[in-house]
Structure 1
Amino acid sequence: MDADQSLQIIQDRYDFIFKEKHLDSVKSILENKDCFIVLPTGYGKSRIYFHLPELFEMTTTKKSSILVISPLQALMLDQMKKLQDMGITATVVGECQKDKGVADRISAGDYSIVFSSPKAALLPGLWRRSLTSGNFNTAVKAVIIDEAHCITEWGAEFRQEYSMLDELRSIFPEKTPFVALTATATKEMKFEIMKKLNMEQDRTDTIWMLPERPNLTYIVKKTTKQMTDLQWILNDIKVNEEKAKKTIVYCRNIKSADDVHSRRIAMFHRSTAEANKVHVMSELPKLDSKVRIVFAAIAFGMGVDIADVEQIIHWGAPRGLEQFTQKSGRAGRDGRHALSVVYYSSFDISKGRCKESVADFCKKVKCCKEILSDYFSLDNKPHRSITKTCKCCSFCKANCECGCCDRLDFIDNIASTQQQYKLQDEDADLHRHISDNESILLKENLLDFHSILEDEDAPGCTYLNDSAINEIVRNAPYLYCEEDIISLGVGDIELAREILLLIEEIV
């Protein structure tokens, strides 16, 4: 059976229609070509590999399976559930898989799709053995590297296994196609990812689109990092409660806010308790979710389909436009109009704090979407935004003359019109009340976090010794920013950010 017939059968069976770039990608993979695929957030990139085993079986008449390498447990579990709901056999290997019997079932060929972290697939142990032996291994028709931008962003400093993924070529049948899948990549990133995966230029197809989202408005605002800048979000919660706009705040040093309905706000980062992570990941995607705001680290939402997020807030300039675009793309996935708002300070964009491209973006030298299009273009053609001018970005809105633009209050000083919710001044002698029980919980969380850092052999581990933990707990009522924590002897800015999040999580 040829590829076109097989694709039509899949569309009829699952009642959907492949998009143009889906078809281009799948056909290349079925021809056993390596593929470098860049498609915008919300395009449905997972559709490319969800049906590959069935398509290979129809075109080759041989039992087929695929391996998907994914960076996050939450993402793997979410995708596995979707596949199982569709009747496709799938499983996950790694730390989140408690059923060790799954290893034997993988080797026996019981699963069409297996999700794995780089660590589980590469390091010696039960899971690697299950992937490298038996029926599964001989049936593998493709290896998918999902969220492939992690190879360049995390490979050297966060998860070293991401920079070793080319080793997988030696454990699967010869000429097994490797597929790099991401929403963001520059020419330089493409070159580096292809090099790390041993992708040869002449047998690799590149399928790509710019990350243009017509329904997404970019707002960039300089700030002194006072909580009053975010009061418009908190007011939405106070007034509308469960009807408040679903919002993700990617933060560096958000302060605690009094008198907020905490049950509608959640925290999500790597040191958040696992039970809380599970709750957030299961609750937020619901259309009637009681959680309306999540304060999160960068990884939250990666690859997970939360369709009705209306606002993404970046508290502090992003470190790179890749991260910014990935995070922004988690809004408006159901097609509704959505906002991506950046609050940055002069310190954020000072030399060495971020990439030059981010500083230019924040300074609004031209249309935000044109900056992004130029940055992510994989060809040499000029690109212009297709979005209506006043719906495009704060730069275009400032130059729009249509006379009927929607008002965006938070671009101005919204705090001045909302004295009833005014927070304490930045220069006041701020302190938060922390009970004895909260202090005990904070210490336990810091000790757990120290264990995580030790397991990861993280550079900042040495700073978080027993003495430092005791000092942090004792001074917690007065710790509001990274500089406060660094003043206690924690000589790592990233570690200080993580500690600040832990403090804010318990108060």
Structure 2
Amino acid sequence: MAAPIDCCQNRNYSAAISEYNKIFRSDLKSLKELQEKAITVLISGKDCICSLPTGYGKSLIYELLPFIDHGCLVIVIAPLNAIIKQQVQKLCGMAMCFSGVNDISRLKSGEISYVFSHPEEILQSRELNDAFTSDRLNTRKIYLVVDEAHCILQWGDEFRPEYRNLSNLRSVFKCQVLALSATVTESGPKQIISNLLMKNCQIICASPAKDNIELIVKKRPSPNTKGNTASSPYDFIFSHVITELNCQLDAFPLTVVYCKSMQWIRYGYEMARQLLADNFYAGDKTQQNARVVMFHSSMEKGSGQLKDMIISSLQKADSCIRLIISSVALGMGADLKYVRRVIHAGPPTTLETYVQEIGRSGRSDTSAQAILYYNNNDLAAQHMRNEMKVYCRGERCYRELINEYFGFKAVQKPSVCCNRCQPEHGLEWDFDKLSIA
């Protein structure tokens, strides 16, 4: 058990929150219990692993450090450009993105409090490594933050191998290490501690199955059943979702539908254009007024303006967008406060990915739904992990299955849990107009 936080520390945190709000024009009132606990661990000189649910506010832990430990430098390693761009914009002139071609004079002069980088760039930059050995930076307290730390476990052999080499940074500068994730399994912390050479490390964790998300699992048609076609499993889902959108329009709860291939993302989008007709747009027929959008990795190949426009729109409570048909690209680091429902048209291959993706919903602590559709073809797919099959075929509480996989044996259930505990829940998603097998 962690040592109690004394009154002096609480006063310091209050002052830090006040200064943080003033600089970033925020309205943060207080810290959540585990945010406060993590900060206390770090400023005491220990390393820390935080495995907290999506939307808990993990980034706030490192964002507040310069306001508590004045003069410190926070180096954040992140896997995706979207995460880095979002955070650098949020932290304004106090932050910089290091891409290997930056002018680092502001870092050397002490003007910068946060440095964001990919592992490949920070590890391969001789200029940056030399800067950290300079007298100016060598005297600063440094916190090394590894965001989405589960990437160390999932990547690192052939795909982005530098994730396994981040411990090399500890030979360049002395630092406290903070590893952040929402989906670290029971054995994960030991591997992260070993990989990052963490010492005197404290682990802070909470169940990844958020209480405000109702878990619903349903079967969908198989394309192999007599009378069905390849599109039947998707018609089953899209036709009902789009019909509901056409009835409710702007009252339709913001919904993400995840599909595994571009073929079915485009298919759902075109179905929406046809079925919604003039209701596809909320006003003039411009992209900014579209109620339905696609989101996928190939959007990066252009200027990125459309992707930025969608993410920016989704930050607003009054966004025109009501339905996002997406690939896994709408995943880690996407801070979408107003999503109320996530639908999977087929299960992802791992339970870690599933928990990450359903965490796009319910981030403002409002009630939300996660609806997963599967068929036997889905479960027979190559690389489908056994724990995902067990979850889909779950014969008991779906929340318990998630919690047990991530090492939480006894967690109190919310009043609205899942359609295994409460079979009457989610009946509106039990469509029966197509044969199921």
TM-score grouping bracket, smaller chain normalisation: 0.7 to 0.9
Deviation at 1:18, TM superposition (A): 1.3
Distance of aligned partners of 1:36 and 1:267 in 2 relative to their CA distance in 1, 3 Å threshold: same
Instruction: Give the Cα separation in 2 of the matches to 1:351 and 1:303.
Output: 27
1:235 aligns with 2:243: yes
Asked whether the equivalents of residues 183 and 406 of structure 2 are also in contact (C-alpha less than 8 Å), the reply is: yes
Distance of aligned partners of 1:192 and 1:246 in 2 relative to their CA distance in 1, 3 Å threshold: same
Corresponding residue number in structure 1 for 2:228: none
Instruction: Give the Cα separation in 2 of the matches to 1:163 and 1:31.
Output: 27
Corresponding residue number in structure 1 for 2:191: 192
TM (norm. structure 2) is 0.82
The code of the aligned residue for 2:398 comes to C
Bigger relative CO (Cα 8 Å, ≥ 6 apart) = 2
Worse overlay, 4-13 or 281-290: 4-13
Asked whether the equivalents of residues 38 and 208 of structure 1 are also in contact (C-alpha less than 8 Å), the reply is: yes
1:245 aligns with 2:270: no
Q: 1:10 aligns with which of 9, 16, 22?
A: 16
- Give the % identical residues: 30
Asked whether the equivalents of residues 54 and 356 of structure 2 are also in contact (C-alpha less than 8 Å), the reply is: yes
Corresponding residue number in structure 2 for 1:65: 73
The code of the aligned residue for 2:417 comes to C
Question: Which 5+ residue runs of structure 1 have no aligned equivalent?
Answer: 58-62, 399-404, 417-424, 427-507
Corresponding residue number in structure 2 for 1:264: 291
Q: 1:45 aligns with which of 58, 81, 85?
A: 58
The code of the aligned residue for 2:172 comes to I
Instruction: Give the Cα separation in 1 of the matches to 2:422 and 2:250.
Output: 30
Asked whether the equivalents of residues 212 and 385 of structure 1 are also in contact (C-alpha less than 8 Å), the reply is: no
Worse overlay, 346-355 or 320-329: 346-355
The code of the aligned residue for 1:364 comes to G
Distance of aligned partners of 1:158 and 1:394 in 2 relative to their CA distance in 1, 3 Å threshold: farther
1:371 aligns with 2:409: no
Q: 1:54 aligns with which of 67, 84, 90?
A: 67
The code of the aligned residue for 2:12 comes to S
Instruction: Give the Cα separation in 1 of the matches to 2:56 and 2:359.
Output: 10
Q: 2:207 aligns with which of 204, 210, 224?
A: 210
Worse overlay, 347-356 or 308-317: 347-356
Instruction: Give the Cα separation in 2 of the matches to 1:12 and 1:370.
Output: 39
RMSD: 2.6
Q: How does 1:293-442 map to 2 (within 5 A)?
A: 293-350=323-380, 352-377=382-407, 382-388=409-415, 391-398=416-423, 405=424, 408-413=427-432, 415=433
For residues 454-489 of structure 1, what are the alpha-carbon distances to aligned partners after superposition, in whole Å with 9 as ceiling and x for unaligned? xxxxxxxxxxxxxxxxxxxxxxxxxxxxxxxxxxxx
TM (norm. structure 1) is 0.71
Corresponding residue number in structure 1 for 2:34: 21
Deviation at 1:55, TM superposition (A): 1.2
How many positions carry a matched residue from both structures? 390
Distance of aligned partners of 1:300 and 1:126 in 2 relative to their CA distance in 1, 3 Å threshold: farther
Segments ≥4 residues shifted beyond 6 Å: none
Q: Secondary structure at the match of 2:111?
A: coil
For residues 301-340 of structure 1, what are the alpha-carbon distances to aligned partners after superposition, in whole Å with 9 as ceiling and x for unaligned? 4223211101111222121111111111110111221111
Distance of aligned partners of 1:159 and 1:276 in 2 relative to their CA distance in 1, 3 Å threshold: farther
Asked whether the equivalents of residues 216 and 418 of structure 2 are also in contact (C-alpha less than 8 Å), the reply is: yes
Asked whether the equivalents of residues 253 and 341 of structure 2 are also in contact (C-alpha less than 8 Å), the reply is: yes
Q: How does 1:60-139 map to 2 (within 5 A)?
A: 63-84=71-92, 89-94=94-99, 100-101=102-103, 103-124=104-125, 133=134, 135-136=136-137, 138-139=139-140
Instruction: Give the Cα separation in 1 of the matches to 2:216 and 2:170.
Output: 43
Instruction: Give the Cα separation in 1 of the matches to 2:413 and 2:209.
Output: 8
Question: Which 5+ residue runs of structure 2 have no aligned equivalent?
Answer: 1-6, 22-27, 223-232, 282-289
Instruction: Give the Cα separation in 2 of the matches to 1:385 and 1:349.
Output: 29
1:166 aligns with 2:144: no
Asked whether the equivalents of residues 315 and 344 of structure 1 are also in contact (C-alpha less than 8 Å), the reply is: yes
Instruction: Give the Cα separation in 1 of the matches to 2:388 and 2:72.
Output: 44
Deviation at 1:17, TM superposition (A): 0.8
Q: Secondary structure at the match of 1:226?
A: helix
Deviation at 1:395, TM superposition (A): 1.2
Asked whether the equivalents of residues 346 and 372 of structure 2 are also in contact (C-alpha less than 8 Å), the reply is: yes
Deviation at 1:118, TM superposition (A): 1.2
The code of the aligned residue for 1:7 comes to Y
Q: 1:33 aligns with which of 46, 68, 73?
A: 46
